[in-house]
Structure 1
Amino acid sequence: MKKNFEIGKDTYWVGYVDDRKVPFHRLILEKGTTYNSYFLDTEKPTLIDTVDIEFGRVFVENLSRFTDISKLEYVVINHVEPDHAGGLPALLSKAKNAKIVTTALGAEELKNMFKLHNREYIIIHDGMKLDIGGKTLQFFETPFLHTEETMVTYCMEDKILYPCDQFSTHIANHELFDDLAKEDITEDFNVYYQLIMHPHRPYVQDMLKKISQLDIQMIAPSHGYVLRENVAQYIHAYDEMSKPKKDKKAAILFSTMTGNTTKVAKIIAEGLEKKHIETRIINVDKADVESVLEVVRESDMIFFGSSTRYADMVGKLEIILKEMKNMDLSSKLGVAFGSYGWSGEAVEVINDYLKENGMKVIDSSYIIKVTGMDDVQVPLRVKFNPNEDEQRKLYRSIEIIGDLLVG
């Protein structure tokens, strides 16, 4: 092995430097990036992550100059996106006996993405350890950082954390280590966090709790520099940037016919209060218009709900929505909800009003674009009285929506 690629005892960087202007998540990475892969030359040779699918063949050719790929025992996949797992098919065509180490969901996604149904998988769970012959790897599930199947790997003897996308920077570099960088990487580190991790900040906090008891002397992420100088400062930065903002206010305004929309409103209120968001719930049919508008002015997020009657809203809610057209709502988040018996058009009519009024409307499209989560359906629609399963889905949705506010 070449000494300049060594990051620890018998541990080597074997990734790919992409020094182009790289299209990535609807952005252009002006400084390029690196796809970091790590080879642990132990009694049971192990690879942690691969490279982007575009460079899979080159990756395997380079790796074969360092080691006999046919003897590879384990391939750890922390995250299945093609910029991390993309080199797997080319690799496994030569590493025919290698076992894939990943989460349960990661295994399912790899099978479907790369048709790897006939490979042997080792499914990890939180805290699980794997002896790779001279080193011990420990695994922790870190869902939604930044996709649901993600995990991190820790080498106990080397005290190295392999956190996949977390703690990354998008810079094409040949210096490998942060203390050898030609310029201060702080801004690149922070920008990466804001663009990729910040939408998932509650899960960042969960991750930090899981790794808090580990002795981490080095962080070897999947993009950019390996961090070995004052590692604690990078962990502290993630902690500070992901802490929830306080003193946020929400309002739930609704009209109802039979009381089902009231039940939905109360569930929303309970979910927000669990996020420590100050919440007011108002049946607008029992309040005067100006007082309701004052609550709108004071709130950071407003939920608007109605039952559906003859394909439209009920009660005074539409009056409120019309009066709001004269207000500056550009800084406020808006969410539509409601109950219905047949087609439930009222919720969609509300959603149209929110967009026309210039609010930042939280719907499924917005959530997918910001967080990548596709299991949350917004506007919030409940048929008749919310049953136990619908209540569970509502609480899940409110958890995600609340996180968008407190972050």
Structure 2
Amino acid sequence: MMNDKLIAKNSHWVGYVDDRKVPFHRLILEKGTTYNSYFLDTEKPTIIDTVDISFGRKFVENLKEYTDLEKIQYIVINHVEPDHSGALPALINKAKEATIVTTELGAKELKEMYKLHDKKFMIVKDGDTLDVGGKTLKFLETPYLHTEETMITYALEDKVLYPCDIFSTHIATDELFADNAKEDITEDFKVYYSLIMHPHRPYVQDMIEKIRDLEIELIAPSHGYVLRDPKKYIDLYDEMSKANKDKKALILYSTMTGNTKRIANYMANELEEVDVETETMNIKEDVDMDEVKAKIEEADAIFFGSSTRYADMVGGIEKVLKEIKTINLDGKLGIAFGSYGWSGEAVEVIKDYLAETDIKLVDSSYVIKTTGMDDIKFPIRVKFNPDEEKIEELKLSSRVIKDILVG
């Protein structure tokens, strides 16, 4: 076969080099990029990730140089975005016996994206392994790096990590290995990290903890170069994702039955867990406004919460909202939250007050544009007392605020 690129024994790069100026996440990749896919020529032939949807047909044709497509047994999809899963429909139509290996959410999204409901799927969870005949693959879930369904794959015998977008670089190159590149790729590597991974840096730390005990000799990402100095690049991710512990959050709330207080406490505990110094204050009618204003001026993020009673706020929170119009809130985050039993107008009224100030109002639109997360809803609204599922959402919402704070 022509120009075979071997990364490990019986493990081949079978991707596509896109040397155009590539539109990507509202940017133009001036240096282009590569879509890295890998073929494991094992007893049960396996593909790890595919290429961009634009090059699906060419990708499938190229694979014929390596194997009879009907013999492919597994197609591992670490991440469902079309630059990695885009060739899956073209491939699965030829590799009719193949099983698609991905996370539970990944399977759901792939079925919907490409109408693959009649195809075979294998759902893997954190730590699961798969014997593909001569190689053992271990799967680790890495949510929000950079989307919720993401996982990474580790080949135990080869000591190769296949992390999809993680540890990638946007450079169009026919040279496979970073240490053979004509120029030092470190700056391009850091730029990719800052654009794609940095908004999710707490999850970078989670990922590093998961791979810490793996013996990794090579990292084979899905964009750019394959990395034969894995420690260097893991250490860079570790360093760039370290938390800034100097941020402060203030949670102000008025409560009627105690439910909004519970929400405040859950969020405060989670913010403290992720190294954000946090204080909560129950705002009653006789609130000391000077004290509250002083604490607001010290905080980087301020949560304003209220229960809903007769379609309105309770306690003294409205007094605070009226006063903050006189405070310079530029550069601070403002978050509305609260509990309700029926329609929950109080949270929306808080949001309206905040919109009249110069605070950076955190709503769902802002979160999507800042972090790419479309499943976290702001303002935070909880019907009655938060159940276990809602508590997990509150924790995740708190981590999102921390992500934005230390950006």
TM-score of the alignment, normalized to the shorter chain, above 0.5: yes
Matched position secondary structure for 1:70: helix
| Alignment match, 2:75 | 75
In the alignment, the residues of structure 2 paired with residue 73 and residue 334 of structure 1 have an alpha-carbon distance, to the nearest angstrom, of 51
Do structure 1's residue 268 and structure 2's residue 240 form an aligned pair? no
Matched position secondary structure for 1:93: helix
In the alignment, the residues of structure 2 paired with residue 34 and residue 177 of structure 1 have an alpha-carbon distance, to the nearest angstrom, of 13
In the alignment, the residues of structure 1 paired with residue 385 and residue 67 of structure 2 have an alpha-carbon distance, to the nearest angstrom, of 62
Cα gap change, 1:114 to 1:388, in 2 (>3 Å): closer
In the alignment, the residues of structure 2 paired with residue 328 and residue 30 of structure 1 have an alpha-carbon distance, to the nearest angstrom, of 40
The aligned amino acid for 1:368 is I
Do structure 1's residue 109 and structure 2's residue 105 form an aligned pair? no
Instruction: Give the fraction of aligned pairs with identical amino acids, expressed as a percent.
Output: 66
Cα gap change, 1:32 to 1:238, in 2 (>3 Å): same
In the alignment, the residues of structure 1 paired with residue 125 and residue 314 of structure 2 have an alpha-carbon distance, to the nearest angstrom, of 49
The aligned amino acid for 1:236 is D
Question: Aligned-pair RMSD on alpha carbons?
Answer: 2.2
| Alignment match, 2:164 | 164
- Aligned-pair CA distance for 1:238: 0.9
Alignment of 1:8-407 (within 5 A): 8-228=8-228, 230-285=229-284, 286-387=286-387, 389-406=389-406
The aligned amino acid for 1:298 is E
Cα gap change, 1:390 to 1:47, in 2 (>3 Å): closer
- Aligned-pair CA distance for 1:201: 1.6
- Aligned-pair CA distance for 1:226: 1.0
Q: Deviations over 1:120-156 (max 9, x none)?
A: 2232233333232332222222222112221111222
**Structure 2: gaps (5+ residues):** none
Cα gap change, 1:47 to 1:389, in 2 (>3 Å): closer
The aligned amino acid for 2:291 is S
The aligned amino acid for 2:251 is I
Bigger shift: residues 252-261 or 58-67? 252-261
In the alignment, the residues of structure 2 paired with residue 211 and residue 301 of structure 1 have an alpha-carbon distance, to the nearest angstrom, of 32
- Aligned-pair CA distance for 1:403: 4.0
Q: Deviations over 1:320-369 (max 9, x none)?
A: 33332333322211111123344322211221222331222222222233
Cα gap change, 1:104 to 1:329, in 2 (>3 Å): same
In the alignment, the residues of structure 2 paired with residue 75 and residue 392 of structure 1 have an alpha-carbon distance, to the nearest angstrom, of 32
Bigger shift: residues 1-10 or 68-77? 1-10
- Aligned-pair CA distance for 1:273: 2.6
The aligned amino acid for 1:288 is D
Bigger shift: residues 306-315 or 131-140? 306-315
| Number of matched pairs | 406
The aligned amino acid for 1:248 is K
- Aligned-pair CA distance for 1:16: 0.8
In the alignment, the residues of structure 1 paired with residue 123 and residue 311 of structure 2 have an alpha-carbon distance, to the nearest angstrom, of 49
Q: Deviations over 1:13-38 (max 9, x none)?
A: 11111112212222222221111011
In the alignment, the residues of structure 1 paired with residue 132 and residue 352 of structure 2 have an alpha-carbon distance, to the nearest angstrom, of 57
Matched position secondary structure for 1:66: coil
- Aligned-pair CA distance for 1:309: 4.4
Bigger shift: residues 56-65 or 373-382? 373-382
Q: Deviations over 1:175-195 (max 9, x none)?
A: 121122232211211111111
TM-score, normalization by structure 1? 0.92
In the alignment, the residues of structure 1 paired with residue 253 and residue 126 of structure 2 have an alpha-carbon distance, to the nearest angstrom, of 42
The aligned amino acid for 2:202 is P
In the alignment, the residues of structure 1 paired with residue 327 and residue 206 of structure 2 have an alpha-carbon distance, to the nearest angstrom, of 38
In the alignment, the residues of structure 2 paired with residue 117 and residue 123 of structure 1 have an alpha-carbon distance, to the nearest angstrom, of 14
Q: Deviations over 1:239-290 (max 9, x none)?
A: 1112221132111112344544333323332332333322222233343212
Cα gap change, 1:384 to 1:75, in 2 (>3 Å): closer
- Aligned-pair CA distance for 1:299: 0.7
In the alignment, the residues of structure 1 paired with residue 355 and residue 208 of structure 2 have an alpha-carbon distance, to the nearest angstrom, of 37
Bigger shift: residues 159-168 or 16-25? 16-25
TM-score, normalization by structure 2? 0.92
In the alignment, the residues of structure 2 paired with residue 133 and residue 389 of structure 1 have an alpha-carbon distance, to the nearest angstrom, of 40
- Aligned-pair CA distance for 1:60: 1.0
Q: Deviations over 1:80-129 (max 9, x none)?
A: 11111110111122111122222222222222222222222232233333
**Structure 1: gaps (5+ residues):** none
In the alignment, the residues of structure 1 paired with residue 132 and residue 19 of structure 2 have an alpha-carbon distance, to the nearest angstrom, of 33
